[in-house]
Chain A
Amino acid sequence: MTEKVGVYVCHCGTNIAKTVDVVEVARWAEDQPNVEVARDNKFMCSSLGQAQIEEDIRERGLTRVVVASCSPHMHEKTFRAACEQAGLNPFLFEMANIREHDSWITEDRAAATLKAKALIKGAIERVVHHQPLEPVPVDINPSTMIVGGGIAGISAALELANAGYHVYLVEREPSIGGHMAQLDKTFPTLDCSACILTPRMVEVGQHPNITLLTWSEVEAVDGYLGNFTVSVRKKARFVDERYCTGCGICIEKCPHKVVDEIFEAGLGNRKVIYRPFPQAVPKYPVIDKEHCVYFLRGKCKACQIFCPTTPNSIDFDQQDEMLKLQVGNIILATGYDLFDSRRIPQYGYGRLANVFTSLEFERLVNAAGPTSGRIVLRDMQTQPNSIGIVHCVGSRDENYHVYCSKVCCMYSLKFAHLVHERIPGAEVYNFYIDMRTPGKGYEEFYHRLLDEETHFIRGKAAEVTDSARLPGEEGKLIIQVEDTLIGKQRRIPVDMVILSPAMEARYDSREVTKLFRMGCDFDGFFIERHPKLDPVATMTEGIYIAGACQGPKDIPDSVAQGAAASARVAGLISRGTVFMEPVRAHIDAEACSGCRICNSMCPYNAIIFHEDEKVSEVITALCQGCGTCVAACPSASITGAHFTNDQILSQIEGILWDVREPLAVPV
C-alpha cells in the first residue's frame, strides 16, 4: 500500500525564504513519489498553518506528514499535536530542519535550495516507514534532590518544601549558606548578607519536608525522569548528630588551630573541630581529620573529654555512610569558584602582600570576620589610606575568560562605599573597563558612589608593582594603567589593592556533568535547554539547574532561578504521571542468539537475560532509547523504535537522491 504524504515548506517569515526558494521546493516536492500534496506557508507554526495540516489529513486522507521548517527542538511538539488533533498518530510525522541546518548557515541561494530538497526528500523517504507508536507513561516520584546548599539551592528547597513536597538537600561543606554566608553587605541595598540569609538557612534546617545532608557528596546517579536512584556519600563528621546539642564546648576546648582556607579565605583561623561560622546550619561541628591531632598521633581527645552530652557525641570511629535515595527530579545548584588571581602574575597576588582578592576583602569588612570588620593590611594592623580596586581580573580577557562576570562592577562599588564608610578620607580608585550596572537600583548605586568622590579610572590595569620610580611611590603598591578618558598612562600609588576576580565554573563541573549525564559549555558552566525560553531545564529530562552553576549571577537572579527550577519540578510532581517518547529498544526473541553483548553495554542496566530461554529482553520502563544495544547487536535482532534500519537507510537514500555518481566509500 502506498502512503499519502503531505509536505509543508515553511518560509519562517524571511528566515528560510530569504535563502531557500520555498515556492520552487514545494512545487518540486509535489512531484515526488508518495506525495499527495505539497504546500508552502509563511508560518507553519501559526494556527493557520496547523489548521492546514489538519484539514489536509481530514479532506485528502493524508497518512503521513512532513514539515520542513526549523529544528525539531522548536516545533516538533506543535506539529505532532496537529496530527493527533486530526486523528493521525503523532509518530507518523517527520520534520526536516531547513533553517538551522540550511538557510541560516549559507547565503548561497542555489545551494540552500538544493539542500532543502535533499533534506525533504530524506524526510519523505523516512516517513513512509514510520510506525504508529504510543507514548510511555512514567510515574514521578514526588521527592526531589537539590545538590548545593547556597542561596540558589536554599531557595529551590524552600519553594518545594513549602509546596508540600519532600526535598533532599545535599551540601559538600559542613554547613549550607554557600558564598553568600561569607559576604558582608549585599548590593545595592547594603543590607547585611547574613541577616537576610540566616533566617532562610534556619527555615531549611527546621523544615519537616527537608532532609538536610551536609558534609555529603553525590557519587552516582542511576535511572531517569521520575525515578532516579542517587548514591550519596555522607562523610564521617565524627560527631553523632543524634546526641550533639551544638553547644560548641568541643570547639572551645580543641587545642589546635589551622588556617581557614575556605570560609575565611585564608585570613583567619579555625579550630580542628569546627563550624564554618556561628550561624551554621546544621549546628553540628565536624572534625577535620587531616589536621586532628588524635587522628595524626593517637592522643588528645579533648573534644570527647569535654563533651557534656550522654551518650558522648564525639565518635572517632564513625565511618562514611552510603545512602541510596529515590527521587523523581534533581536540581543542580552547585555554584561557582573564584578565578585564581595568581594566574595573572602581573597583578602580584600571592607575591605582593597587600594585594587582596574580593573574597578576602569581604571577610575583612565583615563584622563577624577575622578583624571584626576593621579594614587592615596583611599585617592585620595598619589601616590603609588609599585603596585601588581592579575590575575584570580574569574576565573580559581573552587570555582567561572572555565573558563578563556580571557581579564584579557592583560589588567593587560596594567595596568603595564600605571603605568610605569605615575609613573617612580614604582615597578609593576603581579601575574599570566599562561600568556595567544593569539591574534594579544598581545604576542609582553607581551614582551614589560618584557623589561619594570615588575616583573612577577607565582603563584595564596593566600591572601592580612595588617598584617605586617617582617621588611618593616608595613603600606603596603602584597600579600602572592607561587612563583611556584622558589618553595618558598613569601610575597610581596605593596602600592596598583589591582584585575583583572572575566567577568561574566549579573546578569539577565537567565531572558533575558526566555524573548527571548533562552538558556544560566551553567555560564549564552547565547548559540550559534554551537560553531564553527554558533557562533552568537541561537537555536531560528530570535534571534542572539554578544559580551560578549556569553562568555568573548575582543573588536576586540565583534566587529567581532556584524558585523557577522548583516550579518546573512541582509541575511534574503535581501531574503525577508524564508521557515519555516511546523511543525504546526491542529485542526480537526469535532472532536473539543470546550472546549477551547488549547486556553489559546498556548504560541504564535495562536489559535482562532469560537463562531458561537463553535470550535477552529490554525492560521498556528502564530503556532510554540511546541505541547503543541496537548498534552493538551482531545479529541485528534489536530494533530501536522510531529509529529502525528501514527508516534510517531510506532517509540516507533520500538525502542522496540527486547523487548520480557512486560515492567513494572509504574501505
Chain B
Amino acid sequence: MKQYAYFPGCSLEKIALSYHLSAIETTRKLDVELKELDDWNCCGATAYFHVDELLAYTLCARNLAMAERVGLDLVAPCSGCYKNMYFTSAHLQRDPDLAEHVNFALEEDNLHFSGKTAVRHLIEVFVNEVGLDEIKSKVSHPLRDLRVIPYYGCQILRPRKDHENVEEPQFFEGLLSAIGADPVDYPHKLRCCGGSLIITNRLAALSMVRNLLQSAVDCEAAVIATACPMCQVNLECYQQQINQEFGTKFFMPVVYFTQLVGLSFGIPPKRLGIGSELVSATPVLSWIQKSKQEN
C-alpha cells in the first residue's frame, strides 16, 4: 500500500468535509493510504504571503519538514494549499540563503527542510501516481453519458512545471473518461472562480461566476467537477445570489472529482458526502448506482 503524508488543510475539516470523506474512501479502494500529517498547520492561504513572505515560507516549510521526517511525499487536496507548498519547496531548494533562514526557525521545533519531500495535488496522485488504467479496473458503476465539466481552476497548473501544457491540459478529462463519464469541452475550464474577490467586490465576483455557470449551461453540462474547495464554494454557494442579482435560473451541482470517482467505484453516496450540497447533486447522480445491472 502506497502511503502519503496527507495535508487536508482547513477547508476539509468543515466546509469541504465531503471532499475529505470521498478522498479517504476512494484512495483506500486504490490501495493508497493518506496518513494525516501530525500537528499540521495553516498553509498561509492567499493572504499571508503578501503580509510577510519569510514567515509564510516558514509556515509552509514546517509542514514540509514534518512530511520529510516521516519520509513521505506530501499530498494536498486543496489547490491553494498545494500551490503554497509547491512554491515554498521550489523556492527553498533554489535559494539556499532563504532555506537557511527558514531552517533556523524550524530548529526550534527540531525540524529541518532539505527538499526531499515531493509536493503533489490529490488529483496528481490519481492521474500520475495510481494511473488511469488502475482506476479503470476499479470502476464498477461507470458514469455513462454523464456530462461533467472538468473545472481545473487556476492554481493546479500554476506553478508551471517544465513542459506541462498549462493552457490546454487534458489530465482531468482523462480521469473523467476513465470513470466512464463524458468530459465536456468547456472553454473556461482554467478560468478563475473569483477566489476571495467576493469579500472586496461582490458584484464583480458574482458576475465572474455567472459567466462560468452560463457557459456550463450552454455546454449542456449536468455537473461541474472541481479539485479545489475554493472553486467549489464560489461556483456553488452563490448561485442563489446570482439568480437574484441577474435574473438567471442556475441550478448547477458542483461536486469534487473524488465524489464522482467514488460513485463509479460503487461506494455508497452517503459515505462520499453526497447529499450535503447546497445545490443538490442527487437528481443527476442518483441513477448511477442503480444502473449497475446494465454492465
Interface centre among A345, A465, A467, A469 (most CB of B within 10 A): A467
Query: Quick one: given A465-B187, A467-B187, A467-B188, are A346 and B167 in contact (CB under 8 Å)?
Result: yes
Residues of chain A within 8 A (CB-CB) of B218 are 467-468
Q: Is A434 an interface residue (CB 8 A)?
A: no
Give complex CA distance A466, B168 in Å. 15
Give bound CA distance, A465 to B168, whole Å. 13
Pick from A345, A467, A468: contact of B168, CB under 8 Å: A345
Which of B167, B215, B218 has the most A CB atoms < 10 Å from its CB?
B167
Question: Which of A344, A467, A468 is the one whose CB lies under 8 Å from B167?
Answer: A344
Per-residue contact bits, chain B 209-238, to A (CB 8 Å; 1 contact, 0 not): 001001100100000000000000000000
Q: How many whole Å from B194's CB to the nearest CB in chain A? A: 16
Q: Which residues of B contact A469 (CB under 8 A)?
A: 211, 214-215
Q: What is the distance, in angstroms, from A476's C-beta to the closest C-beta of chain B?
A: 14
The residue among B187, B188, B218 with the most chain A CB atoms within 10 A of its own CB is: B187
Shortest Cβ gap from A472 to chain B (Å): 16
Residue numbers in B under 8 Å from A466 (CB-CB): 187
B128 within 8 A of A: no
Question: Using a Cβ–Cβ cut-off of 8 Å, how many residues does chain A contribute to the interface with B?
Answer: 8
Bound CA–CA A121/B187 (angstroms):
68
**Contact of B244 with A by CB under 8 A:** no
- Find chain A residues with CB under 8 A from B110 CB: none
Q: B165 near A: Cβ within 8 Å?
A: yes
Query: Which of B161-189 touch A at CB < 8 Å?
Result: 165, 167-168, 187-188
Interface of A is mostly: loop
| Interface size grouping (class) on chain B | under 10
Shortest CB distance B52–A (Å): 30
CB distance from A493 to the nearest CB of B (A): 15
Residues of B within 8 A of A344 (CB): 167
Chain A neighbourhood of B188, CB < 8 A: 467
Separation in Å of the B112 CB from the closest CB of chain A? Answer: 31
Query: How many angstroms between the C-alpha atoms of A77 and B13 in the bound complex?
Result: 77
Give the Cβ gap from B159 to chain A, nearest Cβ, in Å.
15
16 contacts between A and B (CB under 8 A): A344-B167, A345-B165, A345-B167, A345-B168, A346-B167, A346-B168, A465-B187, A466-B187, A467-B187, A467-B188, A467-B215, A467-B218, A468-B218, A469-B211, A469-B214, A469-B215
Note all chain A residues with C-beta closer than 8 A to B165. Answer: 345
Cβ proximity bits A443-472 to B, threshold 8 Å, 1 near / 0 not: 000000000000000000000011111000
Q: Once the chains are docked, how many angstroms separate the CA of A346 from the CA of B187? A: 9
The CA-CA distance from A467 to B213 in the complex, in Å, is: 12
Assembly CA distance A346 to B167 (angstroms): 6
Measured CA separation A223–B193 after assembly (Å): 64
Bound Cα distance from A525 to B168, whole angstroms: 29
The residues in B between 62 and 107 inclusive whose CB is less than 8 angstroms from any CB of A are: none
Residues in A neighbouring B211, C-beta threshold 8 A: 469
**Given A467-B215, A468-B218, A469-B214, 13 extra CB contacts under 8 A:** A344-B167, A345-B165, A345-B167, A345-B168, A346-B167, A346-B168, A465-B187, A466-B187, A467-B187, A467-B188, A467-B218, A469-B211, A469-B215
B residues near A468, Cβ cutoff 8 Å: 218
A264 to chain B, nearest CB (A): 27
Roughly how many angstroms separate A345 CA and B167 CA in the complex, as a whole number?
6
Closest Cβ–Cβ distance, residue B169 to chain A (whole Å)? 9
Hey, which chain A residues are within 8 Å of B187, CB to CB?
Answer: 465-467
B132 to chain A, nearest CB (A): 21
Central interface residue in A344, A345, A465, A466, by most chain B CB within 10 Å: A345
Most buried by A among B168, B188, B214, B215: B168
Q: Which of A333-347 contact B (CB under 8 A)?
A: 344-346
B208 CB to nearest A CB, Å: 11
In the assembled complex, the Cα of A534 lies from the Cα of B167 at a distance in Å of 42
Q: How far is the CA of A467 from the CA of B217 in the complex (A)?
A: 12
Which residues from A are CB-within-8-Å of B167?
344-346
Closest to A465 in B: B187
> Which chain A residue lies CB-closest to B185?
A351
Question: How many angstroms between the C-alpha atoms of A371 and B95 in the bound complex?
Answer: 58
Measured CB to CB, the nearest residue on chain B to A342 is: B168
Nearest to A352 among chain B residues (CB) is B187
Q: How far, in whole Å, are A385 and B8 apart by their CA atoms in the complex?
A: 53
C-alpha gap A192/B117 in the complex (Å) = 63
Closest to B167 in A: A345
Distance (Å) between the CB of A509 and the closest chain B CB? 20
Give the distance in Å from the alpha carbon of A345 to the alpha carbon of B187 in the complex: 11
CA distance A467 to B215 in the complex (A): 7
Q: Tell me which residues from 453 to 503 in chain A have a Cβ below 8 Å from any Cβ of chain B.
A: 465-469
A393 shortest CB reach to chain B, Å: 13
What residues on B are CB-neighbors of A346 within 8 Å? 167-168
Closest 4 pairs (CB-CB, A-B): A345-B168, A467-B187, A345-B167, A346-B167
Cα distance A466–B165 in the bound complex, in angstroms:
21
